[in-house]
Amino acid sequence: EAQVTQNPRYLITVTGKKLTVTCSQNMNHEYMSWYRQDPGLGLRQIYYSMNVEVTDKGDVPEGYKVSRKEKRNFPLILESPSPNQTSLYFCASSPIIRGTNSYEQYFGPGTRLTVT
Amino acid sequence: RKEVEQDPGPFNVPEGATVAFNCTYSNSASQSFFWYRQDCRKEPKLLMSVYSSGNEDGRFTAQLNRASQYISLLIRDSKLSDSATYLCVVTLSGSARQLTFGSGTQLTVLP
C-alpha cells in the first residue's frame, strides 16, 4: 500500500530533551516536506527536500533540523524542544513531474507533540 | 495580512444545501491553486486542483479569479460526509514545491 508513515504518532516530552520524528514514504517520491499545524494558523511549512541531500527552509524552520540521506526517509529533529513547539506535525511527499506545477502531496497521519 | 485567507466558519448547512467558500491570496505571483480536505485533525487530502478555466468534479466546482486574487469552492447537494475542514492552498511562481495553506473553513452538514 502506497503511504507515508510517521513515528511516533503521539509524544509528550520535556523542554530540552532532543527528539526525532521519523517520516518514511514508499512511493519513490523525490519531494518531501514537514509542516506544523496550529489552531488559527493553518499548516506552516518547516522544511522541504527536493531530493537526497537537498533540503531547504520553509516558513518556520527555527528550532528544527532535517536530513535526507535516503530518498524514502526525511526525519525531523528537535535538538532542544521548547513548549512553543507543541503542535501537530505532518510529513508529506509528492513526485516531481517535469513541466508541471500541479501535483498532489500525500500526507502522513500526523504526530501530536507536547513539550512541557 | 496573511498570504492566504479563508473565512474560518463554521458553516452549518442542512443536507442537500449548496454551499460556497472563498479564499483570497495576497501574492499575485501565485501560480498553482488547490483545495484540500481535512477530517477532524487527520491528514489533509487533495480534493481538487483549481485551473484557470474553472473545473468541476461531480458535486464540486472550483473557480479561479486571478484579477481579484481569489479562488472558490462550490459544493452542491451537500452530504453528511462532506463535513470537514476545507483548506485553500497556493504555490508561488518559481517555488512550486512550497505550498502555502489557508487556515481552513469548517463545514458541518446537518441531517
pLDDT digits (tens, 9 = 90+) for A10-38: 999 999 999 999 999 999 999 999 999 99
Inter-chain residue contact A44 with B101, CB threshold 8 Å: yes
CB proximity under 8 Å: A 45-84 to B: 45, 48, 50, 58-59
Cβ pair B101:A43 closer than 8 A: yes
* Residue A70: pLDDT band with limits 50, 70, 90: very high
Q: Which of A7, A11, A1 is nearest to A91 (CA)?
A: A7
User: Band of the pLDDT at B99, cuts 50, 70, 90?
Assistant: confident
pLDDT band at A2 (very low <50, low <70, confident <90, very high): confident
- Between CA B7 and CA A106, with CA B108 as vertex, the angle to 5 degrees is 75
pLDDT-based confidence at residue A39 (cuts at 50, 70, 90): confident
Residue with cell 479563508: B6
**Separation of alpha carbons A34 and B57, rounded Å:** 29
Q: Which residues contact A73 (CB under 8 A, 6 or more apart)?
A: A22, A23, A24
Q: Quote the pLDDT of residue B93.
A: 55
- Find the residue in B nearest to A58 (Cα): B98
Chain A partners of B64 at a C-beta cutoff of 8 Å?
A: none
Closest chain B residue to the Cα of A55, Cα to Cα: B97
For chains A and B, CB pairs below 8 A equal: 50
For residue A4, what is the nearest residue in chain B, using CA coordinates?
B43
Position B101 pLDDT exceeds 70:
yes
What pLDDT, on the 0 to 100 scale, is given for residue A100? 63
pLDDT given for residue B95 in this prediction: 52
Using the beta-carbon criterion (under 8 Å), do B103 and A33 form an inter-chain contact? no
Among chain A residues, the shortest Cα distance to B86 is held by: A42
Of B105, B109, B95, the residue nearest B38 (C-alpha): B105
- Provide CB contacts within 8 A for B30, sequence distance 6+: B69, B90, B91, B92, B93
A90 neighbourhood in chain B, CB within 8 Å: 43-44
Min Cα separation B103/chain A (Å): 4
Q: Which of A44, A38, A97, A39 is nearest to B99 (CA)?
A: A44
User: Nearest CB to A42: which of B41, B96, B102?
Assistant: B102
